[in-house]
Amino acid sequence: MPGPTLSAVIVNLDGGPLVDACLDALTGQGVDEVIVVDNGSAPPEVDRLAARTGLKLVRLTENQGFAGPANRGVAEAAGELVLVLNNDCTLEPGYASACVEALRADPAVVAVQGVVLDGDGLKVDGCGIAWNGRAEAIQIRNGEPPPAPDAPPFPVAGISATAAVYRRSSFLALAGFEESFFAYYEDADLSLRLARAGGRFLCVPAARARHLGSATGRRLPGMRWRRLLQNRIRTLRRNLTPAAKDRALIHSPAPGLRAAARELGYAKALWLAFAAGFETPDVARRDAAALAAHPPLGRLPS
C-alpha cells in the first residue's frame, strides 16, 4: 500500500543563499512537491526561483508575514502530509521520512518535528514547543546537546513551524495558522487549538535539521518584538478558560521584555509591551470565536 504523499511549503522573502540551501536539502527527502510562497522578494530572486525545476512558485506582491502565506501554500498542496519549513532551515538526510514514519505509526498524532539544531549543528535550537511557569512558549531543550538520534519519538506540547510535518486534513480543519498574527506564536496558537481538538504531537530524534534563526525577522527588530509580545497575549486569550487566562496574563507582558530591551532599549520595549495588551474590536471578536470553537484548555500543557 503506497504511503501518503508529502508536500513541502516554504515561505520566502529575499532569502538568497539561505532559501537556495533550504531547497537543495529537500533533494532525496521523498517530497512529492515543493511550493514556495514568495512574499514580494526582489525581481532577481523571484526570477531565480522561477527558473528552478520541480518547484511551484506562488508569487505575492507584498510581505504578508508568515501565517497567511503558509496557509496559502498548504491550501494549494496536494499531499496528505505537508512539511512547513522556514527558508533559513536546512534538513539533514532522512528528516522527512523519519517524520512521515512517526505520523504513520499513530493516527492520533497530528503533527511532528525533528530535532532542530542551531546553525553550527552543535546545540539544540528546539525539539518542539513547551510552556514554562510564566505561560511563555519556549523551545524544548534550547541550547542543550541534542538527544541521541536512535532515541524513540517523545511527546511534546506543541510543534514549531520551523520544520513541522502536519496532517493536512487536521491543519485545514482548524483553518491553519491565524493570519492576523502575521508572524510569531502562530505555531504555538495552532498547537493549542489542535490539542483542544484532541490532537497529539511528537518530536522525532532521528530527524535532524539546522536553523539559522530569525533571518528575516532580524531585519525589523521592532516589529519582531511587537509581534512576539502581542501574539503571546493573544494566544493565551484565545485558548484558555477565563480563570487560567487570568493566571497566565498576570505575567504578561514581562516574559521577553528584558530581551526586547537589550535590542531596542527600555523605553521602546516598555511602549511595545504596553501596546501589546490592547486589541481592536475585530481582533477581540475573532479571538472570542476561536475560544468558542472547541472546549478551552483549563491549563497550558507542560
pTM over the 0.95 mark: no
273 — pLDDT class (breaks 50, 70, 90): low
Question: What are the boundaries of each domain within the chain?
Answer: 6-217, 220-293
Q: Is pLDDT above 90 for 287?
A: no
CATH 3.90.550.10 fits 6-217, yes or no: yes
- pLDDT, one tens digit per residue, over 18-37 is 999 999 999 999 999 999 99
- pLDDT, one tens digit per residue, over 72-84 is 999 999 999 999 9
For residue 69, the model assigns a pLDDT of 98
Question: Rounded to whole angstroms, how far apart are CA atoms 101 and 222?
Answer: 40
Q: Is pLDDT above 60 for 2?
A: no
